[in-house]
Amino acid sequence: MSPQLKAESFNEFSLAMEAYESLLHAETQAIAAKHLDTIEEILEKKDDSLNFLVSAKEKLKDDYQLNPEINSQVERVLQLQQRNTKAFNKFFSERSRKEKGLKEKLSSSELRLRRTYQYPSL
């Protein structure tokens, strides 16, 4: 691979990493704000961005591992992805517990009251 082509490939990969990292930051904000629609939109964009990133990486072969700047970008992206995964799992867990809690509350006296008002003749 010529030095110019190699430099262009590194640049393309670096830009792809920056785009993916930017989406991860947007995802972090959407998770914190609990905007499920926004999270879903970002996930679709991340899929496209990841395809571009993998394509750019394939052009580099293993040379990218020797570049400290790219290694640093890769490490940041992996950390962000891990953090977002944990944050989303926590959010989803809390949401599930709240929903379960609401069902449990409705299964007690509130559920009896609800039945009473829904079916007054029973």
Under 8 Å between Cβ of 39 and 68? no
pTM of the shown model:
0.76
Is residue 80 in a domain? yes
Residue 48 lies in a domain: yes
Q: Could you read off the pLDDT of 94-110 as tens digits, one per residue?
A: 776 676 665 555 545 55
Per the document, the length of the chain is: 122
Each residue of 45-59: b (16+ CB within 10 Å) or e? ebeebeebbeebbeb
Q: Residue 63's domain spans which residues?
A: 3-95
Of all residues in the chain, the percent with pLDDT exceeding 70 is 77
State residue 109's pLDDT score.
Answer: 52
**Number of domains present in the structure of the chain:** 1
Domain assignment present for residue 118? The answer is no
The verdict on residue 86 lying in a domain is yes
Residue 36 forms part of a structural domain = yes
Residue 58 in domain: yes
Position 57 in a domain: yes
pLDDT for 67-96, tens place per residue?
A: 888 889 999 999 999 999 888 888 877 776
